[in-house]
Structure 1
Amino acid sequence: MARDRNGYRHRVPNPLDTLKALGDQLRAQIGEELDFEALRRQEPARPLEDLLAELDALPGLESVKEQVRALVAFLRVQARRKESGLPEVATTQHLVFLGNPGTGKTTVARLLAQMYRSMGLLKRGQLVEVDRAGLVGQYVGMTAIKTERVIRKAIDGVLFIDEAYALARESDRLDFGDEAIETLLKRMEDNRHRLVVIVAGYPRLMHRFLDSNPGLRSRFSREIDFPDYSTADLVEIFSQFATESSYRFGEGAEDALRSIFAGAERDESFGNARFARTLFEQALNAQALRLGQGDVDTLTHAELAVLTPQDLLAGARALGEEPLPPQPERSSWFGRKPR
């Protein structure tokens, strides 16, 4: 205890308590506490060849795979030039992913983050996913704090901003999305060797987003287009879901599945792989209802594992789809395969 100049006794604050209170205050403002345990637990970087093989194993996306391989080759050659004392070509590693939902953008972003780490371009290679809600605050001054917090988590890794076009205001009304963009651009420049940013969304809206701020076009000069999956790709994706869960197709089921995907409306709202996943879940519900009409306790291993055409068609109708009549896939001698 100590006395002040008026003679009153008061408790002298402990310096450690003061520091702790300051730290708590900073964490409340910044919203982040470094996880040193997570850093210590980080697994070794995966070999680049393994990551490229995983990329190649993804259904469809042939043009995407080609563009990613070209990017990786360019970065490796530039790194080798630097080691040899040759000047590097100034280029941005930030990317724009253009595509509808469910076309593999997040999956490829996660693989790219690991590839950057494998090549020694990023120390950690973690992928931090965020959208407008994770960057923009409701009050003045909060957006910069939220954006800074997310960027701190993504340092030495990749920041993936889905539906990034939502950050750009559509009119002259006040919108805090502009503040998030300005904060992001500054930190991208300040941490250009420690942070890679990937923005993703619908092609039409993303082009409008890139045109909304002059700094965006200069920092995001490389675009990768993610086309919608073909019918054959979606059948393969659905089959993977089934195999992973120990289901198999009954007679005629694959033809029914092909007719469902061929008849689905392909607009910006089409979910691609998400649609395949949801259809798989609805088909399981339909199978369960079908099998539940009998004695469940007497069902055989084979009966529990089979998905019938009726299961798939019922699942599609539950999603508001009215499939085309099943059409067996013909050989190329009879003409082009259905899409």
Structure 2
Amino acid sequence: MERPVTLKNNGQINIVLNNETQKTHGTQTSSFIPVVKQEVKHEALRDIEREMAKLVGMEEMKRIVKEVYAWLYVSKRREEIGLKAEKQALHMMFKGNPGTGKTTVARLLAKLFLEMKVLSKGHLIEAERADLVGEYIGHTAQKTRDLIKKAMGGILFIDEAYSLGRGGEKDFGKEAIDTLVKHMEDRHQEFVLILAGYSREMDNFLMLNPGLKSRFPLVIDFKDYTVSELLQIADKMLKERQYELTKEALYKLRQHLNDVTGQSSLQTFSNGRYVRNVIEKSIRSQAMRLLTTNKFDREELMTLKSIDLILSDGEKVSF
């Protein structure tokens, strides 16, 4: 009989605030006196850390988010005592394959920037080529300006941004790029632009406009998930839906993920999205099995067996 098993998740990222002591010298004696300081709770960072702790992997991204928080916080403290604090642009580039969490991270950053009063609204506007590129001369610039206007006070997230440069010299995509570059400079304190896409294509995209590369001080690489991380993602999805895999089903899923991630070309592999598709199709398969067997007790309703597993191409995983 197949029995349910669960997986363990990684721990939470924490920041440590150290206690301090100060040595003071009097006219006759010297002693160590504890410095009584108001505790800095860094609630904005704590909130984002709690959200990031739910994400599997992406350690580099988590480090950069904390680095951005530290820079913004210290800049505010410098301003408070009259030191120079340059307001740098926070435009970013996310490079990586589909399903690696780029949109999720963009939403978290919007929330962080709102809590730190870097952005006035903290909303996220998602866009693609069709939202920026028009059908005739002048149309593209207006569409792009309208989209930027909607993003004011928040983040404009453009996925597959490299597609703006794929149409050749006569394509209006270049007009969209030029309009974005101008507003990135003129209004860099009013919104954040994040361009996302495949690593190689985004590198080529930067060559289309001389001013592009220098305007993205933050570049984050979103690595493909390992098999272990994909299994953690599967486990989280199953727990959220109150399902469990049997030991045999878990073994088969692991073997399948080893196969698909071991292929020579992974650019078409959609990482977390692929796992979600497998889980959702397998749940539907389990529903059909239960309907035909007429078994609806709690354990049956919660358990996905190896016979229920379905690949993203629609084929059942067979033994």
TM > 0.5 fold call: yes
- Tell me which of the two structures has the higher relative contact order, counting C-alpha pairs closer than 8 angstroms and 6 or more residues apart: 2
Instruction: Give the 5 Å matches for 1:62-211.
Output: 62-89=59-86, 91-169=88-166, 171-172=168-169, 174-211=170-207
Partners of 2:227 and 2:257 within 8 A in 1: yes
- 2:62, 2:45 → 1: CA distance? 14
**Matching of residue 258 in structure 1 with residue 254 in structure 2:** yes
Q: Structure 1 counterpart of 2:173, which letter?
A: G
Q: Name structure 2 gaps, 5 residues minimum.
A: 1-42
Instruction: Report percent identity of matched pairs.
Output: 42
The CA deviation at 1:318 is 4.0
TM-score in terms of structure 2 length? 0.81
User: CA distance change for structure 1 residues 178 and 317 in 2, over 3 Å: closer, same or farther?
Assistant: closer
Cα distance per residue 1:21-58 (max 9 Å; x no partner): xxxxxxxxxxxxxxxxxxxxxxxxx8331122211321
Matched with 2:26 is none
Instruction: Give the 5 Å matches for 1:36-55.
Output: 47-55=44-52
**Number of aligned residue pairs:** 274
Structure whose residues are more often helix by fraction: 1
Matched with 2:220 is 224
- 2:128, 2:267 → 1: CA distance? 18
The CA deviation at 1:290 is 2.0
The CA deviation at 1:59 is 0.8
Cα distance per residue 1:250-288 (max 9 Å; x no partner): 232222221121111361110001001101111112212
Matched with 1:336 is none
- 1:240, 1:57 → 2: CA distance? 9
Cα distance per residue 1:67-105 (max 9 Å; x no partner): 221122122212222222111246321001011000000
> SS in structure 2 opposite 1:156?
coil
- 1:229, 1:50 → 2: CA distance? 24
Partners of 1:98 and 1:223 within 8 A in 2: yes
Cα distance per residue 1:149-208 (max 9 Å; x no partner): 111110010110101111114633x01111111111122222111111000000000011
Partners of 1:161 and 1:200 within 8 A in 2: yes
The CA deviation at 1:132 is 0.5
> SS in structure 2 opposite 1:143?
helix
Matched with 1:275 is 274
Partners of 1:56 and 1:65 within 8 A in 2: no
- 1:59, 1:146 → 2: CA distance? 36
> SS in structure 2 opposite 1:98?
strand
The CA RMSD over aligned residues, in Å, is 1.9
Q: Structure 2 counterpart of 1:218, which letter?
A: S
Answer with 1 or 2: which has the greater Rg. 1
- 1:258, 1:322 → 2: CA distance? 12
- 1:90, 1:304 → 2: CA distance? 55
Partners of 1:169 and 1:178 within 8 A in 2: no
- 1:200, 1:138 → 2: CA distance? 24
- 2:241, 2:54 → 1: CA distance? 19
- 1:302, 1:99 → 2: CA distance? 39
- 1:196, 1:182 → 2: CA distance? 16
**Matching of residue 304 in structure 1 with residue 301 in structure 2:** yes
Deviates further, 225-234 or 257-266: 257-266
TM-score in terms of structure 1 length? 0.76
Q: Structure 2 counterpart of 1:272, which letter?
A: N
